[in-house]
Structure 1
Amino acid sequence: MSKNIKFLAYYLPQYHPIPENDQWWGKGFTEWTNVVKAKPLFEGHYQPRLAADLGYYDLRVPEVRAHQAQLAKDYGVDGFCYYHYWFGNGKKVLERPLEEVIKFKTPDFPFCVCWANETWKGIWFGGDSKQTLLEQLYPGKQDYIDHFNYLLPAFKDERYIKIDGKCLFNVYAPYLIDDLDLFVTTFRACAKEAGIGDLYLMATRCPENWNPLDYGFDGGVGVSQFTSLRYVTGPLYQTFTRMELLKKRVKKFFFGEEKLDLDFENRKKPLLVEYKEAIKYLLPPEQYDYDFFPCAVNDWDNTARAGHKGVVLNNSTPELWEQHLTEACNYVANNDSEHQLVFLKSWNEWAEGNYLEPDAKWGHQYLEVIKRVKEKFNGIKQY
């Protein structure tokens, strides 16, 4: 079977001031505010993370967005999956970068959208875990119609990524939507009424054994069984869920006989997980009866946000990243060419130590891995 591996990188838009962040954290706050003030919390801890080629950019600047897209393209990334925040009743935040990408038709780089449908809590920024900043609401059918209509210019954009001719729309945590069936049927009906055909709905974070097909979705994106554990974000959820299920085995791999301290609120130092061990658990051991696209994770360290409450995938290296990315590609290599898709987490989540953009320590080495792995699988030189 011919190989057509494609990589989509999640993209965080929180690199420009917004009134909400000004109110919560001080005027001018962006993701960089946490990044530059981070401090090492244990021996050998790589903090702060220092930006290289792109500097501490502002996403209101079109040239920055163009430079990002060109850099991604040069190293084999096939598109961005923009995090999108719609909190219900028309409330949006951080919408400007994507809106301008659509409005000005630049950069000429494929994209899709992930609805990050979670309530914003203070813990994400090192604050009180009980503090609600923005509550995610689901007001009902009219709000879903309004939400779809807001996204319609994106879906109609010629750069929008499609699978089987359908616009790819990723829902971050569909299990949080109380009237999920109403959301699915409304969005699909709106798509047909708008003349764009059907949608290709993909789920990310879901409970154990949650089958997307049972809920009107086409498949899933993420780590093995894409399960979750409170207070740990994104790719680490499944790692720690497996810890609970396979406690003795995982404790031996990750911590020896050290106590597994999952008390994130009161812990006095970050939780360290060796990257070389974590990647053993971040890809599914089995194939599913629905489309599943793995999410490869190159690094993680959210101590810039959470301090001692954070989690660190310790000792990530380009060599280990290449091993992990290769295994992710192997997972989809036997799919038909349109379904040989691997998500990358992430392009630019700097305050979570989860980025592919060049930094002062590694330069382009993590990007070079993407280019090299893609060439190996597809047999085509990337320029």
Structure 2
Amino acid sequence: MKTYDIAAYIWPAYTGDEPRTRMFWPQGMGEWQSVKDAVPKFPGHSWPRKPLWGYVNEADPYVMEMEIAAAADHGVNVFIYDWYWYDDRPFLENCLNDGFLKAGNRDRMKFYLMWANHDANNLWDKRLSQDQKNVIWKGATDRQGFQRACRRVIDRYFSQPNYYCIDGAPVFQIYDLRNLVEGLGGMEETAQALKWFRAETVRAGFPDLHLQLTVYGRVPDLSGVDSGDRGSYSGIGSLLGFSSISHYQFVHFTDIDRDYGEILTDVKAEWARLESQWDIPYFPHVSVGWDNNPRFTGMREGIVKNNTPEAVRQALLMAKAYADAHPGQPPLITVNSWNEWTETSYLEPDDLYGYGYLEAIREVFAAPEDSL
């Protein structure tokens, strides 16, 4: 039986153990505070939703043992941890370091990192989120900060026995290309920095580094940060040394304020466009939904409709078909997400669908942790 690597993003904010999170969520439970306080914004709005496992601390290894078991039993065998580097130091590592990596059954689950190098603004603070112009921490990092961050990643994470690799090369995803280029000072400088990162990874004993880029539906504005005309966005991948691309969310490239089934038409077209225009492999992505009203006191437009487990199952079947049609690349599929409750895009069981989304994955892929 063919096996697949089903990789679910993890938003590591469901803990109060990181001191710097108290400015956003003073109750000391991380962003569970916003989930717990969510209210319906209009008649028929499906909030509030409640996690069947409760408002658990995901920096607790016993909690993560439960979550790893549930994920692996249903065919999710990779976690992609959102990883942050703000103010020249890591942020929100507790869920990974103290929860996942100390879980007794961590060998059932691979993991890799996505550097979420976007700016941090008022979005996470429900009291202030209506105004997101205030930047608390910049996501752009200069070369010295970049090297310190990369050394931490190589030494602390790539060396873990269950770090996810492709052909022996650890996978590292980068979220925001513009911030990367801006911080490093231009395209040439970014190419040099990534080349250095690759060389340091090889120096640490790996055959290579697999750099993955998050793609969006539009060309990023690199004006003012690109030190020269380097052609189309699709050529940036090979120019900078990226190995593959994937998405983080459907909302990044299509109108999500409609029925989930209608959205899938655009998703299939987007996959075909990326395959034809990019010179590096695309790994198919499935988003469970979108509704970020839990982060706001007022109404936020843009809500995915009818994203039932059966509807998401159709998206998973599309992703499986794409992987099967590309036998020359690893059968990796990214999913948003394991636990993005404040964006209403999660696999964790809730009081609306129970374990429905996880059961959809098991039905489509039927590949438990023995693919590790």
Q: TM-score, normalised by structure 2?
A: 0.84
**What is aligned with 1:215?**
240
**What is aligned with 1:162?**
165
Give me the whole-angstrom Cα distance separating, in 2, the residues matched to 1:357 and 1:366: 8
**2:282 partner SS:** strand
**What is aligned with 1:92?**
90
**What is aligned with 2:258?**
273
Give me the whole-angstrom Cα distance separating, in 1, the residues matched to 2:103 and 2:72: 19
**What is aligned with 1:285?**
272
CA contact (8 A) 2:24 2:124 kept: no
Q: Which amino acid in the other structure matches residue 176 of structure 1? A: N
**What is aligned with 1:12?**
11
Aligned match for 1:184, one of 185, 194, 208: 194
Give me the whole-angstrom Cα distance separating, in 2, the residues matched to 1:74 and 1:337: 27
Q: Which amino acid in the other structure matches residue 4 of structure 1? A: T
Give me the whole-angstrom Cα distance separating, in 1, the residues matched to 2:261 and 2:168: 38
Alignment RMSD (CA, Å): 2.4
Percent identity of the aligned residues? 29
**What is aligned with 1:236?**
251
How far is the alpha carbon of 1:335 from its aligned partner?
A: 2.3
**What is aligned with 1:82?**
81
Does 1:294 pair with 2:284? Answer: yes
CA contact (8 A) 2:77 2:369 kept: no
Give me the whole-angstrom Cα distance separating, in 1, the residues matched to 2:148 and 2:370: 43
How far is the alpha carbon of 1:68 from its aligned partner?
A: 0.7
Give me the whole-angstrom Cα distance separating, in 1, the residues matched to 2:95 and 2:207: 26
How far is the alpha carbon of 1:323 from its aligned partner?
A: 0.8
CA contact (8 A) 1:5 1:333 kept: no
**What is aligned with 1:312?**
303
Instruction: Specify every segment of 5 or more residues in structure 1 that has no aligned partner in the other structure, as ranges.
Output: 224-233, 241-270
Aligned match for 1:322, one of 284, 304, 313: 313
Cα deviations by residue, 1:248-279 (Å, 9 ceiling, x for unpaired): xxxxxxxxxxxxxxxxxxxxxxx832222122
Cα deviations by residue, 1:10-39 (Å, 9 ceiling, x for unpaired): 011101113222124424151111111111
CA contact (8 A) 1:102 1:154 kept: no
**What is aligned with 2:35?**
35
Instruction: Specify every segment of 5 or more residues in structure 2 that has no aligned partner in the other structure, as ranges.
Output: 185-189, 220-231
Cα deviations by residue, 1:124-183 (Å, 9 ceiling, x for unpaired): 54412112122223121x322211221122101110111121101111112321232233
Q: 1:106 to 1:84 in 2, by over 3 A?
A: farther
**1:143 partner SS:** helix
CA contact (8 A) 1:15 1:31 kept: yes
How far is the alpha carbon of 1:334 from its aligned partner?
A: 2.4
Q: Which amino acid in the other structure matches residue 15 of structure 1? A: Y
Give me the whole-angstrom Cα distance separating, in 1, the residues matched to 2:354 and 2:103: 30
Q: Which amino acid in the other structure matches residue 192 of structure 1? A: V
Q: Which amino acid in the other structure matches residue 222 of structure 1? A: H
Does 1:357 pair with 2:348? Answer: yes
Q: 1:103 to 1:147 in 2, by over 3 A?
A: farther
CA contact (8 A) 2:25 2:125 kept: no
Q: 1:320 to 1:137 in 2, by over 3 A?
A: same
Aligned match for 1:204, one of 210, 214, 238: 214
